[in-house]
């Protein structure tokens, strides 16, 4: 259903209730998502972003409820990732003379994806495009999260079209932040930040400072996924400032995989040691836990403890995806530790410690290994290990 955000400004996106894996299969989206596109009717007609290609027919039908697509003058492509640009070929087939507005990097990524003879107009931060009564103002947001990313601001109605920034993979029947469950909304906004924007946190802080310094009035922040922030729209900006600092909680995440429960018993004993020291911990079986949900838990915690029995001279394969995801997200302000059982060669702990180095997560202390099954004494050592780890966590 088309939603009019302000006079002449419409949401014309698509709600994808059914999707559960995004970016191919990289990202879990338990609550579906939306692909938000916006149509602005002023003296010129402007489309801001499109939707993922498989939804092109629904998108064009929605667009036609508001406008004859052949009359579109400008298509602003804030970001060429196919979830937003995938319907561009279909749109441009309907308005072949429209100008595609892109950032400098978008002038590379859009042709790189579509190899089409569209008329491109390149804009940079601060450029204005008059569309009649109002202007579009462009703000490059390089590496938030692609080189081409930019935000587009509509004067008069004071709407910031922030593309992925401030978005959430959250399918909903309503379009605005004040109409949905706040707990769900913030869970999804955090999952989005933790899994996509964490490595760019410094840029997030700088970009927010830059935007705030412009002193633009902001009536709405309209991202390309999830709901539009209209009630206290800057609340999500403040929340991003807090998340970007990555201040950890005085808590631990323990992740393990196990074959015959020896490493699992170690995990539980380490958790007990942390508990005895007043540190909260959550324990996850690596093979049974959604990696992206786990990244949210790791994002929040100050201590990450990872364990595996030794298998083929290394750790169990389920940890590979988790460790690789951690490396890519470049978490800050955490400490780590490793543990694991073994029968003969016993390399898993060292391998996990090597991986912590690749993640730039300093070790709180040397890891703990137990040969075969832990007995009472070894369980006690694991508890003590937990107590020692608690001592390494900063108070706060």
Q: How far is the CB of 113 from ligand FEO (least distance, A)?
A: 12
Q: How far is the CB of 81 from ligand FEO (least distance, A)?
A: 4
Spell out the residues 6+ positions from residue 19 whose beta carbon is closer than 8 angstroms to its own. Answer: 29, 32, 33
Q: How far is the CB of 80 from ligand FEO (least distance, A)?
A: 9
Q: How far is the CB of 111 from ligand FEO (least distance, A)?
A: 18
84 as an active site residue: the answer is: no
Is there binding between residue 191 and ligand FEO (CB under 6 A)? Answer: no
| Catalytic choice (10, 74, 79, 256) | 79
315 as an active site residue: the answer is: no
Is there binding between residue 148 and ligand FEO (CB under 6 A)? Answer: no
Contact by Cβ (8 Å): 137, 155: yes
Nearer to ligand FEO, 79 or 175 (CB): 79
Residue indicated by tokens 């409820």: 65
Tell me the residue nearest to ligand FEO as measured from the CB: 81
- Interface residues for ligand FEO in 20-79 (CB under 6 A)? 79
Residue 64 phi/psi, 5-degree rounding, is -70, -20
97 by Cβ neighbours in 10 Å (0-12 / 13-18 / 19+) ranks as exposed
- Interface residues for ligand FEO in 204-243 (CB under 6 A)? 224-225
225 as an active site residue: the answer is: yes
**Residue count at the site for ligand FEO (CB under 6 A)?**
9
Residue 58 phi/psi, 5-degree rounding, is -65, -40
Nearer to ligand FEO, 203 or 250 (CB): 203
Is there binding between residue 83 and ligand FEO (CB under 6 A)? Answer: yes
- Interface residues for ligand FEO in 315-344 (CB under 6 A)? none
Dihedral angle, C-alpha 341, 344, 345, 349, nearest 10 °:
10
10 as an active site residue: the answer is: no
Is there binding between residue 292 and ligand FEO (CB under 6 A)? Answer: no
- Interface residues for ligand FEO in 159-188 (CB under 6 A)? 164
Query: CA 103 to CA 109: how far, in whole Å?
Result: 9
Is there binding between residue 16 and ligand FEO (CB under 6 A)? Answer: no
Residue 68 phi/psi, 5-degree rounding, is -80, 115
- Within 95-162, residue ranges assigned H as helices are 106-114
| Catalytic choice (164, 188, 257, 378) | 164
Residue 46 phi/psi, 5-degree rounding, is -125, 135
Among 16, 49, 81, 257, binds ligand FEO (CB under 6 A): 81
Contact by Cβ (8 Å): 191, 296: yes
Query: CA 212 to CA 206: how far, in whole Å?
Result: 10
> What is each CA distance from 214 to 125, 138, 211, 269, in whole angstroms?
11, 12, 5, 53
Residue span binding ligand FEO (CB under 6 A) among the ranges 81-89, 104-112, 246-254, 303-311: 81-89
Residues labelled as active-site residues: 23, 79, 81, 83, 145, 164, 192, 225
Residues lying near ligand FEO in the complex (CB under 6 A) are found at 79, 81, 83-84, 145-146, 164, 224-225
């Amino acid at each position: 259903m088309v939603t009019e955000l302000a006079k002449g400004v419409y949401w014309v996106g698509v709600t994808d209730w059914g999707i559960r894996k995004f970016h191919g299969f990289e990202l879990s989206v338990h609550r579906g998502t939306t692909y938000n596109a916006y149509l602005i009717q002023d003296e010129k007609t402007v489309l801001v972003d499109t939707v993922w290609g498989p939804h092109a027919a629904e998108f064009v039908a929605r667009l036609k409820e508001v406008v004859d697509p052949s009359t579109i003058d400008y298509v602003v492509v804030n970001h060429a990732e196919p979830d937003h640009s995938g319907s561009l070929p279909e749109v441009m087939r309907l308005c072949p003379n429209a100008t595609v507005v892109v950032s400098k990097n978008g002038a590379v990524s859009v042709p790189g994806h579509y190899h089409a003879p569209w008329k491109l107009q390149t804009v940079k931060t601060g450029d204005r495009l008059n569309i009649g009564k109002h202007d579009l103002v462009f703000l490059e947001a390089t590496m938030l999260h692609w080189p081409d990313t930019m935000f587009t601001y509509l004067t008069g109605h004071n709407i910031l079209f922030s593309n992925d920034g401030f978005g959430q993979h959250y399918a909903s029947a309503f379009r605005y932040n004040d109409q949905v469950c706040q707990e769900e909304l913030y869970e999804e906004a955090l999952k989005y930040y933790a899994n996509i924007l964490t490595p760019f946190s410094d840029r997030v802080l700088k970009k927010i400072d830059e935007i705030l310094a412009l002193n633009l009035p902001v009536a709405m922040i309209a991202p390309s996924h999830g709901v539009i922030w209209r009630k206290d729209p800057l609340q999500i900006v403040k929340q991003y400032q807090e998340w970007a600092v990555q201040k950890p909680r005085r808590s631990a995440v323990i992740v393990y995989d196990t074959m015959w429960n020896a490493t699992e018993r170690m995990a539980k004993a380490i958790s007990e040691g942390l508990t005895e020291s007043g540190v909260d911990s959550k324990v996850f079986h690596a093979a049974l836990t959604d990696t992206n949900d786990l990244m949210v838990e790791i994002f929040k915690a100050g201590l990450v403890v990872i364990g595996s029995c030794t298998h083929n001279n290394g750790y169990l394969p389920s940890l590979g995806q988790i460790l690789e995801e951690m490396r890519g997200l470049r978490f800050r302000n955490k400490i780590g530790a490793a543990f694991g059982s073994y029968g003969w060669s016993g390399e898993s702990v060292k391998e996990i410690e090597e991986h912590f180095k690749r993640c730039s997560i300093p070790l709180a202390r040397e890891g703990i290994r137990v040969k075969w099954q832990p007995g009472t004494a070894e369980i006690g050592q694991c508890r003590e290990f937990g107590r020692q780890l608690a001592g390494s966590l900063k108070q706060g």
